[in-house]
Amino acid sequence: MKTDVIVIGAGVVGCAVARELSRFRAGVAVLEAGSDVAEGASKANSAIVHAGFDAKPGTNKAKFNVLGNALFENLCRELKVPFRRNGSLVLAFGAEDEKTLEELSARAKANGVPVEIVGRDELRRREPNVSPEATAALWAPTGGICCPYDLTFRMAENAAANGVEFVFDARVASIGKTADGWRLAAADGRVFEAAAVVNCAGVHSDELNNMVSAVKYSIQARRGEYIMLDRDEAGLFSATMFQTPSKMGKGILVSPTVDGTVIVGPTAEDVPDKEDKATTAAGLEKAKAGALRTCPRLPLNKAIAEFSGLRAHETTVGDFILGEAPDAPRFFNAVGVESPGLTSAPAIGAWLAEKAAAALGAARKDPADVSSDCGWWPKMRETPRAEFAEYVRRNPEFGKIVCRCEEVTEGEIRAAIRARVGARTLDGVKRRTRSGMGRCQGGFCTPRIIEILSDELGVRADEFLKSRRTAPAALRGRPAPHEETDVLVVGAGPAGLAAAEAARENGAERVLVVERDYAPGGILQQCIHNGFGLHRFKEELTGPEYAGRYIDRIAALGVPVACGEIVTDIAPPGPGEKAFRVSTLSRKGGLRTYRAKAVVLAMGCRERPRGALMTPGTRPAGVYTAGTMQRLVNMEGMTPGKRVVILGSGDIGLIMARRLTFQGSKVLACVEIMKKSSGLARNVAQCLDDYGIPLLLSHTVTDVEGGERVTGVKVAKVDDAMKPVPGTEIHFDCDTLLLSVGLIPENELTKRAGARMDPATRGPAVTPKMETSIPGLFAAGNVVRVYDLVDWVSRDAAIAGKEAAIYANGLH
């Protein structure tokens, strides 16, 4: 990639520079080592807009602090970033400190910052929660608070709107001179060229400078640890409460934040590792102790988060090092930008951009050509309810709260992902929306946000990491469209296919079938025997043929079947909503959410397992349910048993007796506890009798033997109470026990959706229209009750499909 200017670092300084450069006729790219903007000190600092009274007069820190402070009002208004001039107070505890206040006051005058010393009583009047030990304070009305990561993001967004390109995960590993500028190689091998470079790399800015210049700098990472308190405590202080500064920094502060929480910190500790952002027990203790000095009743039990950030402290100069490196033309530095870096960033950005543009000879754009777009979206938290209701009316996604603590809606989260410099990680969403920053710290919303990220980016949910970007670059800015449907059918087995067909035929325009298997057809695909369709098609078909008729039919009707996708949740429409939200998970699409005016449940049923029978014995391999065996044999091409005993005489068991016989296995007996077979008489005739397989009625398996694999079973006669009769035991040497002991409707989704269940059928209670207790939620097939015949499943499912279509259309 080749451009005019490359800005290294997408922190608040880099983004400020990039945004200012975007006002010039020049190509600009920002290279960021991390996966998002504001990954370094910009995301973890005190969020204070300093008045500028404590920097030594004449230094860059003093100059840019004061300049930057003055820019904040307009900048934050333009970018719609929260900012409040709450003023700041520096507390003195006794005569020594009061002397320091005098010094600060003198510095303030030299820096042109208005300040005033207030006495104990006035201080207490203004801030009733301040420690009675505080004897005086320096009041600086121009001090303020803002949201540093929102500011950084909005500057980046506005820069992008004006043509700046952002490249993430691009850690600059080397910089070399070219004939007309600089050549930067990223750690992953990507190469970038530019006529000018602006180094805003925070704690790493010294390393980059030292690659090109003989004037060496050295950054010492200075860690600051913080404690965040719940917004319950928003009224604790109105101003930012400092203590008198020390050599290491401005001391521990206690301050309201623009988000309504209270921030406590930072400590100051030099650390050798420039990435060490851990908090420590000692550090947090120090922060607590310092804060308690300011506010003895500080409610530390209201802590919701602890974090730390690293200041980029330059040790040789001790000031911001700004401007062109003396021996590296068109290589501009912003080295050692520590506090008051956030405050200074807007001024540094404007100044450095001016320098770089001048060096390139780039002219300013016509102001009419500069976009003010900062990617704004409505924020529920900051918007009057009546006004917000209008946004919800226009886009119902804004009507769903995802983060309850901070009142962040789904619409906001989707907007944050869809932004130009969009969120690609949980942390990215968090910093753009505040989701997960509240009292539960993401406990409630994290899974939902992962779901939305997956949906928007088409990335598997389990691939999401907290702060590493995982989305393929190609997907950036191209969110997956929503699937809006009239009737969504869960399951593409016989019930689902018939319901989908009927829904489409009865006027539902957009019908979608979601199927968890890789192909439609459901259990019919493994039922390769004949005997299906005499009623429905007036001819005898095998299972796959029966399914094939429906698959062809719904294909002809243009009904899509989303295969390999499993429905994980069905949320009925909330108040004022008209659509169900159906969440699905798939390898290809990750987590998705569909909207459906009506839903037909057609998940079928599952087999009762051995555990449901409480058959004693060991738990070796070789015990299968008949349906599982059927799948293994007919679909997977395996025959996992040579000598087989079948417990239960359900139809699948009988069919499998014949199938296993066909496959060369020996079926020793079919054992049924009841006095007659639970399967169809014709299946006893054609599956057992034809092949001489004994059906032992009023018998059951009393013991399963074997360690690794079944080696045998004991079978005994049962009495009228179905208790084994002693002395009637028969032993079978076998390697497989097949269970065909009943089916249970699969209703996890039904229950989760809140539908009333019928204890007799173990399916949902349904009306004659096949509607569950939830309006618009229909059920079809074995999910309702276990059917003997697929033909009847198709018939009843068609009712469900038809009624679902009518329901959906009634909502237009």
Q: What is the closest distance, in whole angstroms, from the C-beta atom of residue 679 to another protein in the complex?
A: 10
Q: What is the closest distance, in whole angstroms, from the C-beta atom of residue 638 to another protein in the complex?
A: 8
Q: What is the closest distance, in whole angstroms, from the C-beta atom of residue 374 to another protein in the complex?
A: 54
Q: Tell me which residues in 686-705 interact with another protein (CB under 8 A).
A: 686, 689-690
Q: Which helix (H) or strand (E) holds 549?
A: helix 543-556
Instruction: Give yes or no for a contact between 155 and 95, defined as CB atoms under 8 angstroms apart.
Output: no
Q: What angle do CA 342, 346, 348 make, to 5 degrees?
A: 90
Q: Residues binding another protein: what is the number (CB under 8 A)?
A: 29
Q: Which helix (H) or strand (E) holds 269?
A: strand 269-271
- The yes or no reply on residue 117 touching another protein (CB under 8 A) is no
Q: What is the closest distance, in whole angstroms, from the C-beta atom of residue 688 to another protein in the complex?
A: 11
From 620, 606, 577, 644, select the one nearest 747 (Cα to Cα). 606
Tokens for 735, please give them: 């390697």
CA distance 599 to 803: 10
CA distance 333 to 352: 8
Residue from 663, 728, 773, 809 that binds another protein (CB under 8 A)?
663
**CA–CA distances in Å: residue 750 to residues 236, 531, 758, 779, 783:** 48, 30, 11, 9, 9
Q: What single-letter DSSP state applies at residue 697?
A: E
Q: What is the closest distance, in whole angstroms, from the C-beta atom of residue 768 to another protein in the complex?
A: 24
Residue from 69, 244, 525, 625 that binds another protein (CB under 8 A)?
525
From 760, 753, 759, 811, select the one nearest 779 (Cα to Cα). 753
Is 438 or 533 the residue whose CB approaches another protein more closely? 533
Strand order in the sheet with 712-717: 699-705, 712-717, 730-733
**E-strand spans in 116-257?**
116-119, 136-140, 144-146, 165-167, 172-178, 181-186, 191-199, 219-229, 240-243, 253-256
Q: Which stretch binds another protein (CB under 8 A): 557-565, 591-599, 627-635, 738-746?
A: 627-635
Q: Which stretch binds another protein (CB under 8 A): 253-261, 523-531, 575-583, 585-593?
A: 523-531
Q: What is the closest distance, in whole angstroms, from the C-beta atom of residue 662 to another protein in the complex?
A: 6
CA distance 579 to 599: 9
Tokens for 328, please give them: 């590296």
Catalytic residues: 50
Name 90's bridge partners: 138, 242
**CA–CA distances in Å: residue 761 to residues 583, 603, 608, 756, 797:** 26, 15, 14, 12, 16
**CA–CA distances in Å: residue 732 to residues 412, 556, 598, 671, 695:** 65, 52, 52, 11, 14
CA distance 258 to 653: 67
Residue from 350, 401, 670, 680 that binds another protein (CB under 8 A)?
680
Q: What is the closest distance, in whole angstroms, from the C-beta atom of residue 654 to another protein in the complex?
A: 12
Is 386 or 681 the residue whose CB approaches another protein more closely? 681
Residue from 555, 685, 722, 811 that binds another protein (CB under 8 A)?
685
Is 614 or 681 the residue whose CB approaches another protein more closely? 681
Residue from 231, 311, 379, 529 that binds another protein (CB under 8 A)?
529
CA distance 276 to 723: 68
Residue from 389, 528, 730, 744 that binds another protein (CB under 8 A)?
528
Q: Which stretch binds another protein (CB under 8 A): 111-119, 375-383, 533-541, 722-730?
A: 533-541
Name 585's bridge partners: 566, 591
Q: Tell me which residues in 772-791 interact with another protein (CB under 8 A).
A: 788-789
Q: Which stretch binds another protein (CB under 8 A): 296-304, 305-313, 398-406, 678-686?
A: 678-686
From 465, 375, 379, select the one nearest 419 (Cα to Cα). 375
* SS3 (DSSP) at 397: helix
Q: Which stretch binds another protein (CB under 8 A): 84-92, 469-477, 490-498, 685-693?
A: 685-693
Is 545 or 577 the residue whose CB approaches another protein more closely? 545
Q: Which stretch binds another protein (CB under 8 A): 206-214, 231-239, 539-547, 668-676?
A: 539-547
Q: Which stretch binds another protein (CB under 8 A): 71-79, 115-123, 475-483, 628-636?
A: 628-636
Is 682 or 751 the residue whose CB approaches another protein more closely? 682
Residue from 129, 542, 568, 809 that binds another protein (CB under 8 A)?
542
Q: Tell me which residues in 545-564 interact with another protein (CB under 8 A).
A: 545, 548
Residue from 155, 304, 487, 684 that binds another protein (CB under 8 A)?
684
From 809, 806, 798, select the one nearest 496 (Cα to Cα). 798
Residue from 179, 386, 474, 681 that binds another protein (CB under 8 A)?
681
Tell me how far apart the terminal alpha carbons of the chain are, to the nearest angstrom. Answer: 51
CB 317: neighbour CB atoms within 10 A? 14
Q: What is the closest distance, in whole angstroms, from the C-beta atom of residue 624 to another protein in the complex?
A: 18
Tokens 């009583």 identify what position?
A: 121
Is 270 or 636 the residue whose CB approaches another protein more closely? 636
Is 415 or 687 the residue whose CB approaches another protein more closely? 687
* SS3 (DSSP) at 364: strand
Q: Tell me which residues in 629-648 interact with another protein (CB under 8 A).
A: 633-637
Is 520 or 706 the residue whose CB approaches another protein more closely? 520
CB 360: neighbour CB atoms within 10 A? 20
Helix axes 790-810, 494-505, angle to 10 degrees: 40
Q: What is the closest distance, in whole angstroms, from the C-beta atom of residue 471 to another protein in the complex?
A: 33
Strand order in the sheet with 48-49: 48-49, 144-146, 83-84
Instruction: Give yes or no for a contact between 516 and 566, defined as CB atoms under 8 angstroms apart.
Output: yes
What stretches of 180-280 show up as alpha helix (H) in DSSP?
205-212
Q: What is the closest distance, in whole angstroms, from the C-beta atom of residue 534 to another protein in the complex?
A: 6
Is 135 or 542 the residue whose CB approaches another protein more closely? 542
Is 462 or 540 the residue whose CB approaches another protein more closely? 540
- The yes or no reply on residue 376 touching another protein (CB under 8 A) is no
Q: What is the closest distance, in whole angstroms, from the C-beta atom of residue 551 to another protein in the complex?
A: 9
686: amino acid identity, one letter: Q
Collect all residues with Cβ–Cβ distance below 8 Å to 574 and sequence separation of at least 6.
399, 400
Q: What does the per-residue mask of binding to another protein show for 381-410, with x meaning CB under 8 A? A: ------------------------------
Q: Which stretch binds another protein (CB under 8 A): 91-99, 172-180, 425-433, 681-689?
A: 681-689
Q: What is the closest distance, in whole angstroms, from the C-beta atom of residue 547 to another protein in the complex?
A: 8
Is 244 or 630 the residue whose CB approaches another protein more closely? 630
Q: Which stretch binds another protein (CB under 8 A): 427-435, 537-545, 578-586, 720-728?
A: 537-545
- The yes or no reply on residue 540 touching another protein (CB under 8 A) is yes
- The yes or no reply on residue 544 touching another protein (CB under 8 A) is yes
Is 543 or 801 the residue whose CB approaches another protein more closely? 543
Is 135 or 530 the residue whose CB approaches another protein more closely? 530
- The yes or no reply on residue 682 touching another protein (CB under 8 A) is yes
Q: What are phi and psi of 787, to 5 degrees?
A: -95, 150
Collect all residues with Cβ–Cβ distance below 8 Å to 659 and sequence separation of at least 6.
528, 529, 630, 633, 634
Q: What is the closest distance, in whole angstroms, from the C-beta atom of residue 670 to another protein in the complex?
A: 15
Site for another protein, rule CB under 8 A: 525, 528-531, 534, 540-542, 544-545, 548, 633-637, 662-663, 680-682, 684-686, 689-690, 788-789
